[in-house]
Amino acid sequence: MTLLGEHTDYNEGCALAIATSQRTTVRAGAAARGTVEVASSELGVAATTLAAPSGPPHLLLAVALATAAGSPGVRLVVDSELPLGAGLSSSAAYAVATALALGMTGDPVRLATACQVAERAAGSDVGLLDQLAVLLASRGCVVDIDFVGPTWTLIHLPGSIGLTVVDSGERRTIAGSAYRTRRKECEAAANVVGPLGRAARDSLASIDDPVLVRRARHVISECERVVEARGALARADLQALGDLVDAGHASLRDDFEASTPLVEAARERLRRTPGVTGVRLTGAGFGGVLLVVHEPDAAVGIEGHWSGRLEAADGAGVS
């Protein structure tokens, strides 16, 4: 999941990401030639053919990866601890776990790109952030990704900084949200000022449409926050990181218009919790989970809502 850097991956920007301890496991076995079957503890069993694929998105994703892997036919058994539609990159974890179960190899960029292509075939026009984060995660570290390249480094997560994710109660899907509209708006702004992740604030004056100005300003300022957050993590500065997370949420809410009333109500409750220094919506937006930055011993959560502490798990949460 994203610590900071929302909607920067497809804009040639930068981001900080961290993996949760929840795992997604995919086991591959033989199936009739030309068929793909997916058995999921949450979604039941779905099957289709390689020649004329049809069915739900998770099945179409499996078909795309099976085709890329050269599989003649496969049955996949999926077991995931990640809640669907919560902004915790459940689809990316599923894609990466499926690719590995099918025996796909290569460097992280190649594997992440293959998973990105598969997700797009299933109807989600995603960037590379989630797939790379899943592949690169290391225990006790935050993954610092520059999407020009892409290149990456690992940053130590200080023990004095607590991180928790809390379900807002608002479900969302990338395919069914305004995510595609935001991407098109970013592309329109980039046609004027160049890649937003590398643009300067003063370039905003070149954009005539006020909506595109706001979209571009979010991406530009979000990349600035990523740079500042690197320093906050190095200093183990809990308050500075919380302030940046709060600012990131305000930008995502106001300039990117990716929040909802239900999300805002949940965020306000969490922000008033003693020991909390910052709260923001994470993932593509329009619902999902909230990231909370807090003192390590703070009790963080909302009764009746799923929550989990983040400990920068290794193994990418997939197997």
pLDDT in tens, 18-37: 877 778 899 999 999 999 99
pLDDT in tens, 149-173: 899 999 999 999 999 999 998 876 5
Element (H, E) at 68: helix 57-69
**Nearest Cα to 279, choosing from 248, 253, 238?**
248
Strand 74-80, strand 276-281: pairing: unpaired
Per CATH, the homologous superfamily of domain 158-317 is: GHMP kinase, C-terminal domain (3.30.70.890)
| Total number of residues shown for the chain | 319
Element (H, E) at 108: helix 108-121
Least confident range from 37-41, 263-267, 277-281: namely 37-41
Return mean pLDDT, the chain: 91
Element (H, E) at 3: strand 2-4
Q: Measured in whole angstroms, how far is the alpha carbon of residue 246 from the centre of its chain?
A: 18
pLDDT in tens, 97-114: 999 999 999 999 999 999
Least confident range from 67-81, 147-161, 162-176, 185-199: namely 162-176
| Tokens matching residue 83 | 């809640």
Q: How far apart are CA 33 and CA 273, in angstroms?
A: 56
User: Which one of 9, 107, 125, 130 is the catalytic residue?
Assistant: 130
> Does the annotation count 125 as an active-site position?
no
pLDDT band at 178 (very low <50, low <70, confident <90, very high): confident
User: Which segments of the chain belong to CATH 3.30.70.890?
Assistant: 158-317
User: Which segments of the chain belong to CATH 3.30.230.10?
Assistant: 24-136
pLDDT band at 315 (very low <50, low <70, confident <90, very high): very low
Quick check: 259 and 253 in contact, CB under 8 A?
Answer: yes
pLDDT in tens, 119-143: 999 988 889 999 999 999 888 899 9
> In CATH, what class is 24-136?
alpha beta
Name every residue whose Cβ is closer than 8 Å to that of residue 190 and which is 6 or more positions away in sequence. 11, 196, 199, 216
